[in-house]
């Protein structure tokens, strides 16, 4: 079966761009890693910048589509449990994509020149908004915090926890969290959902110790 040169270049470029950024990554290193002739970059992508844009699009769209499926499954759940599944799912998807985390940092440092910025007309995931607003109507989530703030804070915290993961490794180890990524994920998600005051007690629940 002939090797897919486009896919090979995208995979190699994702590694190089994640490590060195769009300016520091070298074409020669990308083609050497891919085992593909340099001219195929210009055939498939037109330029190094075109290759970088294609890498970002492929990485971001893969995450978005996978998270969309998580949200769709959670949309039929009770608001608190559904949001818990949504945030934990995003954390797991992000943890499985360390290159995307690094690429996001480089893109942010570059002023978001490549990925399109969201606008009010391109708000993502209507099912997620409906889940959150249903929770507001039911008194599960605070009524004075709009979806845009809750969504932005949650994603910033989850992405930030991945960006700072290595820097805070010793601190997490001292709290017995470093060796258990799932427990750490649940702690972060719980903090986002419950906040500093803790989850409000519901009728029928026992007093927490």
pLDDT at position 83: 95
Q: What string of pLDDT tens digits covers the 209 residues of the chain?
A: 345 899 999 999 999 999 999 999 999 999 999 999 999 999 999 999 999 999 999 999 999 999 999 999 999 999 999 999 999 999 999 999 999 999 999 998 888 888 766 655 566 689 999 999 999 999 999 888 899 999 999 999 999 888 876 666 666 666 666 567 787 788 889 888 886 445 556 666 554 43
Instruction: From 17, 2, 14, select the one nearest 106 (Cα to Cα).
Output: 17
The dihedral sign for the CA sequence 18, 19, 21, 24: negative
Residues 48/76, Cβ–Cβ less than 8 Å: no
Q: How far apart, in whole angstroms, are the C-alpha atoms of residue 153 and residue 172?
A: 21
pLDDT at position 47: 95
pLDDT at position 202: 62
């Amino acid at each position: 079966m002939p090797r897919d040169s486009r896919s090979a270049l995208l995979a190699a470029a994702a590694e190089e761009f994640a490590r060195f950024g769009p300016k520091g990554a070298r074409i020669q290193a990308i083609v050497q890693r891919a085992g593909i002739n340099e001219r195929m970059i210009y055939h498939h992508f037109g330029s190094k910048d075109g290759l970088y844009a294609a890498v970002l699009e492929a990485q971001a769209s893969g995450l978005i589509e996978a998270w969309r499926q998580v949200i769709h499954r959670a949309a039929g759940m009770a608001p608190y449990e559904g949001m818990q599944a949504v945030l934990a799912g995003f954390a797991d998807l992000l943890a499985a994509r360390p290159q995307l985390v690094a690429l996001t940092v480089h893109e942010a440092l570059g002023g978001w020149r490549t990925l399109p910025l969201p606008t009010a007309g391109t708000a993502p995931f209507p099912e997620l908004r409906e889940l959150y607003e249903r929770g507001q109507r039911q008194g599960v989530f605070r009524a004075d915090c709009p979806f845009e703030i809750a969504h932005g804070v949650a994603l910033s915290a989850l992405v930030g926890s991945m960006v700072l993961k290595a820097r805070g490794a010793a601190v997490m180890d001292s709290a017995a969290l470093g060796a258990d990524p799932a427990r750490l994920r649940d702690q972060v998600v719980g903090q986002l959902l419950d906040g500093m005051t803790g989850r409000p007690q519901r009728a029928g629940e026992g007093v927490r110790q």
